[in-house]
């Protein structure tokens, strides 16, 4: 009975984000990540963080919705107690039992009262759900994924995957803080094709390496409607493209160059590797770009090489391709 009383005391302290939560499960580096799924459309993500074992139950979302001004993107419901919140705190019949329990608590014979026994059984079931919920990991046979940690095929044929990468690195090669350098944990659930990130290279003003392209999903451009002046999305649809440069003036290896939003209505973007204020031009020997999937679809990544020495004919062809994108913010130059 002491165990039951402890669980009752902790019930209100369990953290369980609602439907507005994104596919970013953790913004801190995690270790020992495992994934299991069941036939109820749930996934269980387990990892260690700060010396603590964490069980995250996710459900309620798949794929993505097309952007709409007044809409909300699909998102997981998350229970960071591994199922205790979903199957104990959020069950109406158990809430009624808890009310009855408060009435009989400490009265003669309350330990053997049917209400107490039912509540104890419910708490034990919810506490052990991460072990008894039928979680397993079917062999993944889906498309190749960037930044993959682990992936499973669910009984219904859908796919779940965990990806991890350094999304929060500062721009222009600035030394990151511990928080900025963390390898975030992202969870995806989808069927069908992945989002499509298309990028090409040319030159800006005949001299700077230049990237341009578009981001689409299921035939629709991916973009948001509101953002801060610094380019942080203020709605659930906006997505930033995170661009890294390799062996640049910032230093050896992959270093963050910049991040920016895809454009509203088109999903198009363009970026020039010219000097930015006191920061030198970040042109490198290779480039890559990573972007969060819309909704709860997987994150996708592109990698390519610079355009090389300026070529007038190639630049004219690229300018035609930029014009064909139909985005007023990305103009041939």
Position 5 pLDDT exceeds 90: no
Mean local confidence (pLDDT), 205-222: 97
pLDDT at 319 over 50: yes
The last residue of a domain, from among 132, 157, 185: 132
Report the percentage of the chain scoring pLDDT > 90.
Answer: 88
Last residue of a domain, one of 104, 132, 160: 132
What contacts 160, CB < 8 A, 6 or more positions away?
35, 37, 43, 151, 152, 154, 187, 188, 189
Do 208 and 293 reside in the same domain of the chain?
yes
Q: Structurally, how many domains does the chain consist of?
A: 2
- Sorted by sequence, the CB contacts under 8 Å of residue 232 that are 6+ apart come out as 240
Residues 105 and 200 in one domain: no
Q: For residue 141, is it within any domain?
A: no
Residue 116 and residue 204 share a domain: no
CA distances from residue 196 to 205, 261, 297, 308 in whole angstroms, order as listed: 28, 16, 11, 25
Residue 198 sits in the same domain as residue 318: yes
Note whether 117 and 229 are same-domain residues: no
Q: Look at residues 113, 132, 151 and tell me which one is the last residue of a structural domain.
A: 132
Q: Domain check: are 222 and 99 in the same one?
A: no
Partners of 36 in beta bridges: 44
Mean of all residue pLDDT scores within the chain: 92
310's CB contacts (< 8 A; 6+ apart) are: 203, 206, 207
Residue span of the structural domain in which 224 resides: 193-324
Contact present, 21 and 77 (Cβ < 8 Å) = yes
Q: What is the dihedral of CA 325, 326, 331, 333, to 10 degrees?
A: 60
pTM for this one? Answer: 0.91
Structure confidence by residue, pLDDT tens digits, 16-64? 333 333 489 999 999 999 999 999 999 999 999 988 999 999 999 999 9
């Amino acid at each position: 009975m002491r165990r039951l009383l402890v669980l009752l005391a902790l019930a209100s302290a369990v953290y369980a984000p609602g439907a507005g939560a994104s596919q970013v499960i953790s913004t801190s580096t995690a270790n020992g990540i495992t994934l299991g799924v069941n036939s109820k459309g749930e996934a269980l993500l387990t990892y260690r963080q700060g010396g603590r074992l964490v069980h995250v139950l996710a459900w309620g979302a798949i794929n993505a919705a097309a952007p709409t001004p007044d809409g909300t993107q699909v998102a997981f419901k998350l229970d960071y107690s591994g199922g205790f919140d979903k199957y104990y705190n959020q069950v109406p019949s158990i809430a009624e039992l808890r009310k009855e329990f408060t009435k009989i608590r400490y009265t003669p014979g309350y330990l053997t009262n049917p209400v107490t026994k039912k509540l104890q059984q419910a708490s034990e079931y919810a506490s052990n759900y991460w072990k008894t919920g039928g979680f397993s990991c079917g062999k993944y046979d889906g498309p190749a994924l960037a930044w993959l940690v682990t992936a499973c095929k669910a009984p219904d044929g859908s796919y779940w995957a965990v990806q991890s990468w350094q999304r929060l690195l500062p721009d222009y090669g600035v030394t990151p803080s511990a928080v900025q350098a963390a390898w975030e944990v992202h969870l995806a659930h989808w069927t069908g094709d992945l989002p499509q990130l298309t990028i090409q290279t040319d030159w800006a003003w005949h001299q700077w390496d230049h990237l341009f392209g578009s981001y689409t999903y299921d035939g629709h451009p991916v973009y948001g409607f509101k953002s801060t002046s610094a380019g942080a999305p203020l709605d659930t649809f906006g997505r930033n493209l995170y661009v890294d440069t390799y062996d640049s003036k910032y230093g050896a290896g992959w270093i963050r160059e910049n991040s920016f939003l895809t454009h509203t209505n088109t999903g198009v973007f363009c970026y020039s590797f010219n000097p930015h204020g006191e920061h030198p031009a970040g042109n490198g020997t290779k480039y890559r770009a990573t972007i969060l999937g819309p909704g709860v679809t997987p994150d996708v990544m592109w990698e390519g090489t610079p355009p090389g020495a300026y070529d007038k004919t190639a630049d004219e062809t690229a300018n035609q391709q930029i014009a064909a994108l139909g985005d007023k913010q990305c103009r041939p130059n």
